[in-house]
Amino acid sequence: MAHKFNITAAANDQFKFDFSYNSEKIFWSENYKQKASAKNGIESVKKNAPGAATVDLSKGEEGSGYRFEIVESKDGQHFVRFVSSNGETMARTETYASKASAKNAIDSLKKNGPDAEVVEA
């Protein structure tokens, strides 16, 4: 199966999206009040993720503009946030035991996101 974005219903008549491969969610969004806003979020990720910088917050790095932030959790694992130019988190990953897995998630979205199909549930 190919990489794809899925738009699904969320609580309180809202919508969310995820970026997945073989039904495994790699990134997922916060909730949006309207489906159109979730679609706009996907289009923004498709457009801006490929050229976005990667900032490792666990190493004290800082960044601005569209970027991937690698964050260390309290238990020493890592997750990734995709952040827009206004500082809002657009999507995040699960927590990974290895930083390499977090970096693989970034690479997957950068490489496969722009051409990924959008599926509405």
Q: With bands split at pLDDT 50, 70 and 90, how would you rate the model's confidence at 121? A: confident
pLDDT in tens, 55-102: 999 999 999 999 999 999 999 999 999 999 999 999 999 999 999 999
Looking at residue 97, its pLDDT comes to 96
| Domain annotation for the chain: domains and CATH numbers | 3-120 (2.30.29.80)
Residue 102 burial class via C-beta count within 10 angstroms: exposed 0-12, middle 13-18, buried 19 and up: buried
Residue with tokens 């190493």: 59
Structure tokens at 90: 């657009």
Whole-prediction pTM value?
0.94
Q: How far apart are CA 72 and CA 80, in angstroms?
A: 9
The residue type of 20 is S
